[in-house]
């Protein structure tokens, strides 16, 4: 037997043994599907957590600061009728602010679910104002994000 035939036979046998079997491929697909089933729901849940965090930040920080600046300039908070728009445009309804130095915010605030924040002054839960988002469902109080809790 020649040396060339001997090496050719070894190479051919080795090439035949290099592929993946259907069982191995199916096992990899099942593992990937199982991992996806565990990871994807967690990522989707994080989206709602992020929206809640943004709403909480808007209420407790951004809008609270703008309202405090308005109050420092004008000695009172905007009325319920004037609403949060008073932070962007000088109110024309009574009591009209004499020292309005706004705009205190760049645009009318919208919560992460696309609804307007609810502003009531004087508040029912706090003496100065109540400020809240109706949350994901925009109706019941179960998921509201409020400045009084």
Q: Tell the residue number behind the tokens 């405090």, with chain if given.
A: 68
d(CA 47, CA 28): 29
67 lies in some domain: yes
- Mean pLDDT confidence for 74-96: 95
Domain that holds residue 88: 52-146
- Mean pLDDT confidence for 71-94: 95
Q: Which of 37-46, 117-126, 131-140 has the lowest mean pLDDT?
A: 37-46
116: which strand partners?
A: 110
In the chain, the N- to C-terminal Cα span, in Å, equals: 90
What is the pTM for the complete model shown? 0.69
Residue pair 107/85 in contact (Cβ under 8 Å)? The answer is: no
For residue range 1-11, list pLDDT tens digits in order. 565 655 555 55
128 lies in some domain: yes
- Mean pLDDT confidence for 42-65: 85
31 lies in some domain: no
What CATH number is given to the structural domain containing 71? Answer: 3.30.700.10
Q: Please report, rounded to a whole number, the percentage of residues in the chain having pLDDT higher than 90.
A: 48
For residue range 11-29, list pLDDT tens digits in order. 555 555 567 788 888 888 8
35 lies in some domain: no
Residue whose C-alpha is closest to residue 96's, from 104, 86, 88: 86
Categorize the per-residue pLDDT at 104 as very low, low, confident or very high, splitting at 50, 70 and 90: very high
Domain count, the chain: 1
89 lies in some domain: yes
- Residue 92, pLDDT > 80, answer yes
What pLDDT, on a 0 to 100 scale, did the predictor assign at position 7? Answer: 58
DSSP state of 80: T
111 lies in some domain: yes
91 lies in some domain: yes
15 lies in some domain: no
């Amino acid at each position: 037997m020649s040396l060339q035939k001997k090496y050719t036979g070894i190479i051919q046998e080795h090439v035949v043994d290099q592929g993946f079997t259907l069982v191995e491929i199916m096992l990899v697909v099942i593992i990937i599907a199982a991992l996806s089933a565990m990871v994807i729901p967690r990522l989707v849940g994080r989206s709602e957590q992020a929206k809640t965090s943004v709403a909480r930040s808007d209420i407790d920080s951004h809008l609270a600061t703008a309202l405090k600046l308005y109050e420092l300039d004008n000695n009172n908070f905007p009325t319920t009728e004037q609403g949060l728009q008073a932070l962007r445009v000088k109110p024309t309804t009574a009591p009209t602010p004499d020292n309005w130095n706004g705009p205190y915010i760049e645009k009318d605030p919208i919560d992460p679910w696309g609804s307007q924040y609810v502003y009531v002054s004087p508040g029912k839960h706090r003496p100065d104002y109540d400020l809240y988002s109706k949350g994901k469902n925009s109706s019941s109080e179960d998921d509201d994000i409020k400045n009084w809790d």
